[in-house]
Structure 1
Amino acid sequence: MAEKVPDVAPPDQIIDEATGLADNPDAHGFFTLSRPADGWTPGDYRVDFYLGTELIDFAKVKITK
């Protein structure tokens, strides 16, 4: 999600999403985020993690030149 990415996306604009499925309550997993072909636009981004429809955690990412 773009939080503050000037000239690219308004605040809280979803720029990509993915879904994962855990086969049991103790399952672990990981996600990767590939670099766009033109590179990341500098700015502040956020990755939100949901369990069903409930936001359970997030990670903030800052891309600089």
Structure 2
Amino acid sequence: MAGAAGVTRRLLALLAAAALAGCGRAGPPRPPGPKDQIIYPRAYPQYAPQPAPQGPPAPAAPAR
């Protein structure tokens, strides 16, 4: 059972290190660069969808 306890301790240490590594500076993320060149958080423009290209006409059904 000593092996399982060592694995558990290592796993807990890894989880604690991962949680602490995720800590960064406080506050919302700020993109780098001058403020006049940052477009975030504005939404990207949405253009009207283009109509699907028309394919060749379907063949006519044979007469009976």
Q: Counting helix residues as a fraction of each chain, which structure ranks higher?
A: 2
TM-score (norm 2): 0.18
Comparing both chains, which one has the higher relative contact order based on Cα–Cα distances under 8 Å and sequence gaps of 6 or more? 1
The structure that is strand-richer by fraction is 1
TM-score (norm 1): 0.18
